[in-house]
Structure 1
Amino acid sequence: MGNEIILKDKTRIYYKEYGSGEDLFLLHGNDGDMTYFEYQIGYLSKYFHLILIDFRDHGFSTNTKGRLDFDLLANDLNEVFDQMGIKKANLLGFSDGANLCLIFNKLFPDKINKMILNAPNARFKGITFPAKVIMVLENILWSILPFFKRNKRVANLLLTDLKIDIKDLRNIDKDTLILVGSRDLIRISHIKKIARNIKNSRLVIIKNKGHRLARTSPEIFNKLVYEFLKGDL
């Protein structure tokens, strides 16, 4: 069983820690939870202090507010930093977790050392058409079924553009690794545009792989993360 951090608004954030060394937050994607990174724990915990959290409204974490957006999630993460006594850390985010990294950098830039962004999508138009159709249909379903309010809030994150513009991307001064599969549901052209505007970024496109790299290709994923954070990539 993991631990809980109680935020100022009484929301409970569920988290687990593994290993020791430099702090590394692992931030899951939309409608997921920390178990997404189960294939990273054994390898990366040998070299880093891993902190895995369930976002507000995800997994075992709660939400005392009637809304959900990336600014709120970024402020939650900032409270987690403060309550754990962490001044600065590396961030690894998948999909919406990568989007959260971008917003967190905008709001709290001094708290980030390096960032790893796996399939970020700053704009809804950056998602491929088939994936968009599924997301919109899911959002309609949650709207019809009022007892799925949590699902509706979570689904809305997918349909909302980030409050990030080109200037914000160009202001990022952290070493940043951007990972994406060549068959990702995020358009490669969209990923390349993000990478072009982050001056200290390195883009790695993994051939014939899809959206869930950490799950489907953990050996490749873990090695790239390790080498980047250790300065060997």
Structure 2
Amino acid sequence: MNRIDLAGQHAVITGGAQGLGFAMARRMVASGAKVTLWDMDGPLLEKATAELGSHARGVSVDVTDWNAVEAAAAETEAGGGPITTVVNSAGIAGPAAPLDGYDVATWKKIVDVNLHGTFHVCRAIVPGMKARNYGRIVNIASIAGKEGNPNASAYSASKAGVIGLTKSLGKELASYDIAVNCITPATAETRILEQLTPEFIEYMRSRIPRGRFLEVEEAASMVAWLVSKENSFTTAAVFDLSGGRATY
């Protein structure tokens, strides 16, 4: 593992108690950063912070609740200092179903977590980054946001929205030393697969030319560079992690 220098950085990682978010937190701590995990799952949050050690704290927060996110940002900075880095990893997939039969409440929940949650976190933390003229933001989108997956219209649409948000915010902040980028991973073997049928999971695997799912450590490696000071020029960009699936 290459050690990327993240000394002195304070990262907020949403959905950080498990899956991609936890792997990214582990990689950042190994690179010298301190991290604050934001997650709704209290027991998992406690376990994750204990595993990461003294460089990690946890804050229980629902990213769909703007007031809760605003309060979490204030609590995080009071306990750990200015937030220099954000990874928006909190997300849900929802069930696989055709659009004309998709449950309306479930559609709204998926968009609320994946897209509105990302907006809430950026909205709460960007003002401080602008005031200090420094920040690194990585939003976790998906290959589904670029290509669309059948029977996953809500997830695909929400992740396409994350890509659009990233490009817009990156351009807004381009005159600052703030980089805003996103990654578009193919399916990774995380708990998000529990929401999908075996048939849909196999369909997803069959679309990846490498013939396997993404490993969470591979995503963490890419994000570690994206949140480093070395990433001083690239912003409003989309980084592919699809194992060859993406056609653009």
Q: How does the TM-score come out when normalised to structure 2?
A: 0.45
Whichever structure has more strand as a proportion of its residues is 1
Structure of higher RCO (CA pairs closer than 8 Å, 6+ residues apart): 2
